[in-house]
Chain A
Amino acid sequence: QLVESGGAVIQPGGSLRLSCAASGFTFGHYTLHWVRQVPGKGLEWVSLINYNSTDKYYADSVKGRFFISRDNSRNSVYLQMNSLSTADTAFYYCALSRFDYWGQGTLVIVSS
């Protein structure tokens, strides 16, 4: 199971950290992804982190503003989002390495 949290209404230029808590599997063995979806629109892959945090990748749209991390002792993955703009308004999902398990999503609204 994957459960996201941390979504909120935030002003443009602000920062927010999303969390994804995992259970029911050996968390430290797997790559985790963040995927986002503007309400009513398509899916956009955002970032991934490998099992031991040595590899991190980002979509061009968030590179330099978003930062992914994980804490295997807490079975959690995080997405630090900085310099937010209205274009970042979306549901944010975490997903397991093969995209075979997803969380329920958390909504981030960037608005003044």
Chain B
Amino acid sequence: DVQMAQSPSSLAASLGARVTITCQASQDIGKSLNWFQQKPGKAPKVLIYDASTLETGVPSRFSGRGSGTFFTFTINSLQPDDVATYYCQQYDYLPTFGQGTKLEIK
């Protein structure tokens, strides 16, 4: 199985701040990586696929980078609506998720 080490597990940032979450894969997964946003009581929503491609309709303040084993997810100019838990997920083989990052406003 491919293990995904996501960090941090939680963070608090100020409105307008830049926030970065990282995900490290236990083996090379190329660019086979999704980033999801999940709000309480809702299903996850994909924001980024193929490591860096923005899903249609997702605001451009969200971005993703990386390939191989190291990936980053960035929110530029944090908004109140961004409060959520974020997950990375690899799909190079059988899918596995990172542990999640709970994002709050400071």
Q: How many residues of B contact A (CB 8 A)?
A: 20
**B17-50 at interface with A (beta carbon < 8 Å):** 34, 36, 38, 43-46, 49
Shortest distance between the CB of A60 and any CB in chain B (Å):
7
Query: C-beta contact mask, A82-98 vs B, less than 8 Å → 1, else 0?
Result: 00000000000100001
Asked whether A8 is an interface residue with its Cβ less than 8 Å from the other chain, the reply is: no
Asked whether A72 is an interface residue with its Cβ less than 8 Å from the other chain, the reply is: no
For the complex, give the distance between the alpha carbons of A99 and B44 in Å: 9
Asked whether B55 is an interface residue with its Cβ less than 8 Å from the other chain, the reply is: yes
Interchain CB contact under 8 A, B46 and A43: no
Q: Point out which of A33, A60, A102 has the most chain B C-beta atoms below 10 A from its C-beta.
A: A102
For the complex, give the distance between the alpha carbons of A16 and B1 in Å: 27
Interchain CB contact under 8 A, A103 and B43: yes
Asked whether A71 is an interface residue with its Cβ less than 8 Å from the other chain, the reply is: no
Interchain CB contact under 8 A, A43 and B44: yes
For the complex, give the distance between the alpha carbons of A45 and B36 in Å: 14
Which of B1, B55, B100 has a CB less than 8 Å from the CB of A43?
Answer: B100
Interchain CB contact under 8 A, A45 and B97: yes
**A54-69 at interface with B (beta carbon < 8 Å):** 57, 59-60
For the complex, give the distance between the alpha carbons of A44 and B46 in Å: 15
Interchain CB contact under 8 A, A45 and B94: yes
Query: Provided the pairs A42-B87, A42-B100, A43-B100 are in contact, do residues A99 and B43 lie with their beta carbons within 8 angstroms?
Result: no
Return the 7 tightest CB-CB contacts between A and B, nearest first.
A102-B43, A45-B95, A43-B97, A42-B100, A100-B46, A42-B99, A57-B94
In the complex, given contacts A100-B49, A102-B45, what are 18 additional A-B residue pairs having Cβ atoms less than 8 angstroms apart? A43-B36, A43-B87, A43-B89, A43-B97, A45-B94, A48-B94, A48-B95, A57-B94, A59-B94, A98-B34, A98-B91, A99-B34, A99-B36, A99-B44, A99-B46, A99-B91, A99-B95, A100-B46
Name 5 A/B residue pairs within 8 A (Cβ), A-sorted: A42-B87, A42-B99, A59-B94, A99-B46, A105-B43
